[in-house]
Amino acid sequence: MLSDELRARAAKQVKSFTEAFLTAKQNGYNVQALSLPSFDNQEDFDRCRPEESGTDFREHNEYVTMILEGLVENGVPAERVLFHYSEFAKWLNGGEISNATRASYGAYLLSEAERKSHEREAVGTSPEQERLLEVQVDCSKRTFEHLRCPCGNWSTLSFDSIEYIAETVQVSGSMPTLTCGRCGRRRVPIATHEAICGLATEALNRGVSRVSVNVLAANGARTRYSYCEKAPLKYSALDTQYIPGLDGQSGFLTPVFFARDALTYFYHHPSYTVKFASDTYGSLWTLDGDYISFGLNRQGKVIMWLGDLDRFPETELKMLAIHNVESDHDIGCEFYEGQIEAVFTELSQEQRVIRAQGELSVEVFSKFNGLKLLQMDAEAAQLVSDLRRPLHFTETQFGDAMETMTKLLIERIDVAAVKKDLAPTLESRDAERLRSLGGLKALELWLLKKAGSENAKELMSPLFVLYDLRVAFKHLIPADKQEATKQSAIERLGLAPDTTLETIYDTVSEKLQLAFEQMKIAVRKQGE
Ligand SMILES: [Zn+2]
């Protein structure tokens, strides 16, 4: 029997997955099943979920069953997948265990199960081995496809010269295939498969036994869709036609590539704010609360959908066009995963805090005429990916985590912008005092005066505690003061003096999340 706490957590999980599923579906995305990991022995559980190591794996399975039942009841497609550490480790190939990699591996297990049920011959040799590859195509088989290679890595669309044998007809030339840079596997996308079979049938009808093609030079490659016609954007219609999950008909989901600098324009633009959901997935928000998502691919390029870009005013679109680059046909990243494969990731506590702060900043931005609470730059994306729960709760690792959290949650507060917004509402004596205030005190005063939070001091408390934990554990204050500062922080968290670092970490991060959520509610009420 599950504890009340776990049951409540499961219910919350069902609610958030259902909402995410419905939103994705509403937006027209190709939503696939959610994978729920379960285990058949304690060792696999402990090794796959090191942060919960020691929890009874049967209890976890029961928790997963409860989520599964809730989702099925809500009509959300979900399936149980069995995790074995040895196979997971192989798939990770040296990568780290995290919520994101676990979710990806779960999605991979589901796609594997699907692939096995639609077995298809589509495996070529390594792209480096020969220039011309020979692949047998069976024109009677159809199947679903994923951008992820069966080895777990993202595939890239390539246009190498290939030779296919289909229905005794030899089809050769430059054609789209999905290649994996990690294991060298080459797969034939459904659209290529269909094109080849069409060519083979036509050749047979005409009594021809050899056909040569060059997809890059064909008309299809030059297709222009009816979006963003006012700006001369470069994109490849072949991406839309051949990358799994994109829609080749309307062209809405055509990936358009930009140099990373494109984001800088929005960091500084008064009508936009940038929010990162992970290090490869973010969104640009406008003052009206509208947003456009973007991804960062493995080459560090920014990707946006052509159909989304169409919503930008002409000026912004032309500004973006300056940073527009040719497609490198590589779109595998969390942006693609979240939007096309709709892989749901169970958020870690760290991500929850970041999300809560991001939502507060978007709320402030839209309710207070474009006030940007946070400085958002390329470094912030790096910090988001650096923030991790310590593996071992040593003083050093704990101190490092407090430091990253401080950089993300406190040092990014745009003190000058907050003060500038606040100053006109203050009496002259308070305005004088404002000048000498640090970021946290200025934000506290802003919450009190502008957002009308009577309990501003209480709301800010977890941030002050975080600040103190950082200076104490990173030895930024004299040694004789460190112990007293630690004790004071622990006391303000409502914990006993001998509390473990792990409990302190959990408590402070939960309180931070809650504080940002309450600040957001206060800001929203004020704006109404
Ligand atoms: Zn591979």
pLDDT greater at residue 78 or residue 241:
241
Q: How many CA atoms lie within 13 A of 13 on its CB side?
A: 23
* The pLDDT of residue 338: 79
Question: Ligand 1 centre from 31 Cα, in Å?
Answer: 23
Helix or strand or coil: residue 403?
Answer: helix
Question: Ligand 1 centre from 89 Cα, in Å?
Answer: 15
Check if the beta carbon of residue 508 is closer than 8 Å to that of residue 436: no
Distance CA 104, CA 338 (A): 10
Average pLDDT estimate for 297-314: 92
* The pLDDT of residue 115: 58
- H/E segment holding residue 238: helix 237-242
The number of beta carbons lying within 10 Å of the beta carbon of residue 244 is 20
For 4-117, CATH gives 1.10.3100.10
Number of H helices, E strands in the chain: 20, 15
pLDDT greater at residue 110 or residue 368:
368
Mean pLDDT across the chain, nearest whole number? 85
Question: Ligand 1 centre from 180 Cα, in Å?
Answer: 5
Question: Ligand 1 centre from 38 Cα, in Å?
Answer: 25
Check if the beta carbon of residue 253 is closer than 8 Å to that of residue 340: yes
Does the structure show a pLDDT above 70 at 114? no
Question: Ligand 1 centre from 184 Cα, in Å?
Answer: 6
Question: Ligand 1 centre from 429 Cα, in Å?
Answer: 66
The number of beta carbons lying within 10 Å of the beta carbon of residue 526 is 16
Question: Ligand 1 centre from 382 Cα, in Å?
Answer: 26
- H/E segment holding residue 275: strand 272-278
Does the structure show a pLDDT above 80 at 129? no
- pLDDT tens track for 18-48: 877 776 666 545 556 677 889 989 999 999 9
**How far is the CA of 358 from the CAs of 249, 351, 353, 437, in angstroms?**
35, 10, 9, 23
Does the structure show a pLDDT above 50 at 13? yes
* pLDDT > 70 in the chain, percent: 89
Q: Tell me which residue of 521, 358, 366, 369 sits closest to 447, measured CA to CA.
A: 521
Distance CA 489, CA 441 (A): 17
Question: Ligand 1 centre from 156 Cα, in Å?
Answer: 10
Question: Ligand 1 centre from 16 Cα, in Å?
Answer: 32
Question: Ligand 1 centre from 119 Cα, in Å?
Answer: 17
pLDDT greater at residue 197 or residue 28:
197
Distance CA 408, CA 411 (A): 6
Q: Among the ranges 90-104, 330-344, 390-404, which has the highest mean pLDDT value?
A: 390-404
Question: Ligand 1 centre from 347 Cα, in Å?
Answer: 27
Question: Ligand 1 centre from 222 Cα, in Å?
Answer: 30
Does the structure show a pLDDT above 90 at 351? no
Cα 279 from chain centroid (whole Å) = 7
Question: Ligand 1 centre from 167 Cα, in Å?
Answer: 28
Lowest mean pLDDT, pick from 3-12, 173-182, 341-350: 341-350
Radius of gyration of the chain (CA): 26
Question: Ligand 1 centre from 183 Cα, in Å?
Answer: 4
Q: Tell me which residue of 71, 66, 64, 65 sits closest to 17, measured CA to CA.
A: 71
**pTM over cut 0.85:** no
Question: Ligand 1 centre from 277 Cα, in Å?
Answer: 26
Question: Ligand 1 centre from 302 Cα, in Å?
Answer: 23
- pLDDT tens track for 34-85: 778 899 899 999 999 888 888 899 988 888 888 888 888 888 878 888 999 9
Does the structure show a pLDDT above 90 at 163? no
Question: Ligand 1 centre from 434 Cα, in Å?
Answer: 57
Q: Tell me which residue of 280, 295, 260 sits closest to 101, measured CA to CA.
A: 280
Show the DSSP H helices in 368-425 as ranges: 378-386, 395-409, 415-422
* The pLDDT of residue 333: 87
Question: Ligand 1 centre from 250 Cα, in Å?
Answer: 30
Question: Ligand 1 centre from 20 Cα, in Å?
Answer: 29
pLDDT greater at residue 471 or residue 60:
471
Question: Ligand 1 centre from 185 Cα, in Å?
Answer: 5
* The pLDDT of residue 527: 59
- pLDDT tens track for 275-291: 887 778 888 988 888 88
Residues forming beta bridges with residue 186, ordered by sequence position: 179
* Domain extent listing, the chain: 4-117, 133-217, 348-528
**How far is the CA of 474 from the CAs of 298, 395, 469, 481, 485, in angstroms?**
33, 9, 8, 12, 12
Average pLDDT estimate for 477-490: 93
Question: Ligand 1 centre from 92 Cα, in Å?
Answer: 12
Question: Ligand 1 centre from 261 Cα, in Å?
Answer: 31
Check if the beta carbon of residue 252 is closer than 8 Å to that of residue 228: no
Question: Ligand 1 centre from 521 Cα, in Å?
Answer: 46
Residues forming beta bridges with residue 293, ordered by sequence position: 283
Question: Ligand 1 centre from 149 Cα, in Å?
Answer: 5
Q: What DSSP string runs through 82-133? A: E--HHHHHHHHTTPPP-HHHHHHHHHHHHHHHHHHHT--------TTT-SSE
- Alpha carbon distance, N-terminus to C-terminus of the chain: 44
Question: Ligand 1 centre from 27 Cα, in Å?
Answer: 30
- Maximum distance among all Cα pairs of the chain, rounded to whole angstroms: 93
Question: Ligand 1 centre from 196 Cα, in Å?
Answer: 23
Question: Ligand 1 centre from 154 Cα, in Å?
Answer: 7
Question: Ligand 1 centre from 188 Cα, in Å?
Answer: 13
- How does residue 352 score in pLDDT terms, banded at 50, 70 and 90? confident
Question: Ligand 1 centre from 273 Cα, in Å?
Answer: 37
Q: Among the ranges 9-18, 112-121, 211-220, 459-468, which has the highest mean pLDDT value?
A: 459-468
Question: Ligand 1 centre from 123 Cα, in Å?
Answer: 11
For 133-217, CATH gives 3.10.20
- How does residue 142 score in pLDDT terms, banded at 50, 70 and 90? very low
Question: Ligand 1 centre from 148 Cα, in Å?
Answer: 8
Question: Ligand 1 centre from 186 Cα, in Å?
Answer: 8
Question: Ligand 1 centre from 147 Cα, in Å?
Answer: 10
Question: Ligand 1 centre from 422 Cα, in Å?
Answer: 54
